[in-house]
Amino acid sequence: MKAAQRIMKVFVSRRLPPEGQKLLAQAENCTIQQWESDDPVPRAELLKGVAGAHGLFCLLSDSIDKELLDTAGPNLKVISTLSVGFDHLAMDEIKKRGIRVGYTPDVLTEATAELSVALLLATCRRLPEAIQEVKSGGWKSWTPMWMCGYGLSNSTVGIIGLGRIGMAIAQRLKPFGVKKFLYTGRRPRPECAAGVNAEYVSHEKLTEDSDFVIVSCSLTPETEGLCNKDFFSRMKKTSVFVNISRGSVVNQEDLYQALVTGQIAAAGLDVTTPEPLPTNHPLLNLKNCVILPHIGSATYSTRNTMAVLAVNNLLKGLAGEEMPSELKI
Ligand code: NDP
Ligand code: DGY
């Protein structure tokens, strides 16, 4: 006689992209409780849903902290997040409890790098401002210095965090005629850097020498607030700042001051603090600040692939098997 299978409880904190949803529906030996909405699960519902669960499927907007882990209790064995970033997970607490974590590296690298290039170009060539001028009648005639911006050709690009996405951004920017790539990180990465001939430098040198500064590092205690008054004051007045990492890497008050005082030329942000950014936030009044709603990985195919990977991480983890993408804790 076949041994009775243990039925495990899983909480899923959002409606998933279709391919992920389809795979989840085929899961065996699980009772799945899901917050079936495109809106974030309220904290109280998340806590209720996770109590006694063996598996948790979460998003970057869910804070997986000590309170939640205590509420989940000792059953919780696997957390699968629909993201490559894991700054929303209390890793020390997770490690203490021996919980396995799945995440989604690599599959979103190309989409995010592509969006980063689009944001950089939109910011340095002032596209949202120019489109608005066309619509509002501000376009009077072809005027020599009107709507001029800064181009990539012959420029120096500084990348903070030459990881998977940072490297993919550099590769995409190279054909635009970038003269020099600089990068920072916890340590030099000569094998990666060689592909774009990037030079490992200090944060100070990177900010001082770059025409474009792109932030693509992970959010950690060391990178939180890294882009502050001192950071912006070192940048050239003609330089353009882009952040696709996490909002908290930037001190937004200091960025606002740098933009209004002309300390830097412009900024493009795909990530902010908080998210969503309130519609009355001062940064939204600045013509030289382009803000996107965290859409780096937002292509149909990427989001479906992320969802399938994250569901597979969850199910393999619950089965005690190797996950396709397990975070090494
Ligand atoms: P990787 O782990 O490949 O890269 C992270 C990079 O951050 C590494 O190069 C690492 O440097 C660097 N880093 C860590 N600490 C520091 C530090 N103190 N100073 C400078 N650099 C540092 O991750 P990915 O490239 O896949 O993703 C990077 C981040 O991008 C994610 O963590 C996430 O926050 C964000 N992201 C945003 C998206 C969006 O939609 N806007 C989409 C996907 C990701 P080192 O090489 O020395 O370890
Ligand atoms: C991530 O994966 O960390 C992004 O921010 C969303 O794709």
Q: Which pLDDT tens digit goes with each residue over 260-313? A: 999 999 999 999 999 999 999 999 999 999 999 999 999 999 999 999 999 999
Report residue 1's pLDDT band, with 50, 70 and 90 as the boundaries: very low
CB 24 within 8 A of CB 16: yes
pLDDT at 226 over 70: yes
At 156-185, the pLDDT tens digits run 999 999 999 999 999 999 999 999 999 999
- Tell me what the pLDDT averaged over the chain comes to: 97
Q: How far apart are CA 96 and CA 77, in angstroms?
A: 12
Active-site residue (options: 54, 88, 281, 294): 294
Q: If you average pLDDT over residues 310-321, what whole number do you get?
A: 97
Q: If you average pLDDT over residues 4-8, what whole number do you get?
A: 77
At 85-109, the pLDDT tens digits run 999 999 999 999 999 999 999 999 9
Instruction: Look up the pTM and report it.
Output: 0.97
* Ligand 2, pocket-test mutation among 61, 81, 84, most atoms within 8 A of CB: 84
* Residue 39 CB neighbour total at 10 angstroms: 9
- % of the chain surpassing 90 pLDDT: 98
pLDDT (0 to 100) of residue 5: 66
Q: Which atom of ligand 1 is nearest to the CA of 271?
A: 41
pLDDT (0 to 100) of residue 224: 98
Residue 137 alpha carbon to ligand 1 centre in Å: 42
Joined tokens for residue 280? 């009355």
Residue 95 alpha carbon to ligand 2 centre in Å: 22
pLDDT (0 to 100) of residue 4: 56
Q: Which residue has the least CA distance to atom 38 on ligand 1?
A: 296
* Ligand 2, pocket-test mutation among 64, 109, 112, most atoms within 8 A of CB: 112
Q: Is 203 a catalytic residue?
A: no
Q: Which atom of ligand 1 is nearest to the CA of 162?
A: 9
pLDDT (0 to 100) of residue 316: 98
Q: What value of ipTM does the predicted structure carry?
A: 0.99
pLDDT at 6 over 90: no
Residues with CB under 6 A from ligand 1: 84-85, 105, 108-109, 112, 160-166, 184-187, 189, 216-220, 222-223, 244-246, 270-271, 294, 296-297
- % of the chain surpassing 70 pLDDT: 98
Q: Which residue has the least CA distance to atom 16 on ligand 1?
A: 185
At 103-115, the pLDDT tens digits run 999 999 999 999 9
